[in-house]
Amino acid sequence: MEDCKKKKIEDYVRSIPDFPQEGIIFRDVTSILEDADGFALAVDSMQKLLEGVDVDVIVGTESRGFIFGAPIAYNLHKPLVLVRKKGKLPCETVEQSYDLEYGSAVIEMHKDSIKPGQKVVIVDDLIATGGTVEAAAKLIEGLGGEVVKLVFLMELAGLKGREKLEKYDVQSVICYEGK
């Protein structure tokens, strides 16, 4: 007998109130990854957002963008390029700094990982303020790539990351209204 009630991706997300501070509901992606059906549904749902998109390269941002970007790149038979924190890549890199809530950070990618004219999709688990992905997009564009889409599993609309990324085609599987 088949299961008549299919689970939605939201059913796999563990929500933890008052973490990391009071008033915040933390949306835990590990509960999706720890369930084979949840992980498959997440990857399939994110990949579905790429139907009809002309893409040459999938870029995953550290670290959960690697987790979701890898199976999507594999399924689409596209290369996977990693965007890492500064100092983690062994070859010549380009870097981009960006602001955090308290301070700043720097990300890098290999200088030869994107060729001029390549169409790029950036994949990550979560869009919050949009800072990391905006910095990744600047790196890609600096190398001559064209960012054709940004794909996220979850979006925290209250942090207004979509507004920061308004010049891009942004899509998320799940959108939570709060922070």
Which positions ≥6 away from 44 have C-beta within 8 Å?
A: none
Q: Is 64 a catalytic residue?
A: yes
| Separation CA 71–CA 124 (nearest Å) | 12
Residue type at position 59: V
Q: Is 177 a catalytic residue?
A: no
The β-bridge relationship of strands 80-85 and 103-110 is antiparallel
SS3 52: coil
| Separation CA 123–CA 46 (nearest Å) | 9
Residue type at position 36: A
Neighbours of 147 (CB within 10 A): 21
Q: How far is CA 123 from the centre of its chain?
A: 3
SS3 138: helix
User: From the candidates 22, 101, 166, 177, which is the catalytic residue?
Assistant: 101
User: From the candidates 62, 64, 95, 146, which is the catalytic residue?
Assistant: 64
Instruction: Kindly report the backbone phi and psi dihedral angles of residue 29, in degrees, each rounded to the nearest multiple of 5, phi listed first.
Output: -75, -20
Catalytic annotation, residues: 64, 101
